[in-house]
A = this chain, B = another copy of it.
Amino acid sequence: MPATSTSRTARERVREEMTGEILTVARDHLARDGAAALSLRSIARDLGMAPSALYRYFDGRNALLSALILAAYESLAQCAEEAADQAARHEESDFERFARVPRAIRRWALARPYEWGLIFGTPVPGYEAPEDTVGPYARTAGATVRAVVEAEQAGRLSSVRDTAAVSAELAEAVTPVSEALFPGAPPETVVSAIEAWTTMIGAVSLEVFGHWRNTILDPDLYFERTIADLADSVGLSRLA
């Protein structure tokens, strides 16, 4: 019966809306008070409903926190992938295409410092991150290095860079990344890319967590320089 399915989805639509509203309010509280202070009662208060009502939507405080964490991972992954897709659509230099993703990630993080903290900050203690974060995490990393992978496959990575050879042991230690993101690429490329990832995360974290106050006066400018140096270290050309 079509009537049945449409009306059931009507109920479900309302449910999804309500779930979204709860998550939105929860995110606001997260931004204001941090993850540890997240309180079902105060979220319910903001929504104008009884605390117990939230149990219709989330199986307690921990479940809500898990949902927030997962949502943060997925939001970041989507942001990074959108930037990479957009880059792929433009006819630009390898460098320009690479640069778009770190820029997008940084913007995402500056707009949502506490969600960034859920992913890359101090882990909430006694709390195991949900398994489902592995996927979005990998997608974010994949989007970040996509321009490198493509340039590598097209033979466009400059080999003039003075990268030291990677030992067999190190290549082995890094196989999960090689296999997932760099099939067939030389280990030197893989290692440089991981280091670029590390530097990017570090640069964003230091900025977002406030460590550049009175130290780096123009974070935009500095981040651009970081991106440029990362591209160099990975062998990406600035030419179109």
**A residues engaging B (CB < 8 A)?**
32-37, 114, 117, 120-126, 129, 134, 137, 161-162, 164, 166-167, 169-170, 172-177, 191-192, 194-195, 198-203, 205-206, 209-211, 214-218, 221-222, 225-226, 228-229, 232-233
From B117, B161, B226, A198 is in contact (CB under 8 Å) with B226
Chain B CB within 10 A, most for which of A205, A209, A221: A205
Q: A169, B218: Cβ atoms under 8 Å?
A: yes
Contact partners of A120 in chain B: CB under 8 A: 205-206, 209, 211
Given A125-B32, A221-B173 in contact, is the A194-B209 Cβ separation under 8 Å? no
A175 to B167, CA, bound (A): 39
Q: For residue A162, which residue of chain B has the nearest CB?
A: B232
In contact, B173 and A222 (Cβ under 8 angstroms): yes
Docked CA distance A2–B97 (Å)? 75
B123 and A209 form a contact (CB under 8 A): yes
The A interface, classified by DSSP as helix, strand, loop or mixed, is helix
A177 and B218 CA atoms in complex are apart in Å by 13
A192 closest partner in B (C-beta): B229
Are B176 and A215 in contact, CB atoms less than 8 angstroms apart? yes
A222 nearest CB across to chain B (Å) = 6
Taking A114-B125, A211-B120, A218-B173 as contacts, is the C-beta distance between A226 and B195 under 8 angstroms?
A: yes
A217, B114: Cβ atoms closer than 8 Å: no
Which chain B residues border A125 with CB–CB below 8 Å? 32-34, 37, 114
Whether A173 lies near B124 (C-beta < 8 A) is no
Interface centre among A174, A200, A202, A222 (most CB of B within 10 A): A202
Q: Which residue of B lies closest to A214 (CB)?
A: B176
Asked if residues B174 and A222 are in contact (CB atoms below 8 Å), the reply is: yes
A34 to B127, CA, bound (A): 11
Nearest CB in chain B to that of A175: its residue: B217
A202 & B198 in contact (Cβ 8 Å cutoff): yes
Q: 12 pairs across A/B with beta carbons < 8 Å? A: A34-B124, A34-B125, A120-B206, A123-B210, A129-B210, A164-B229, A172-B217, A172-B218, A176-B216, A201-B202, A201-B206, A233-B233
- Which B residues touch A215, using CB under 8 A? 176-177
Q: Nearest Cβ distance between residue A87 and chain B, in whole angstroms?
A: 22
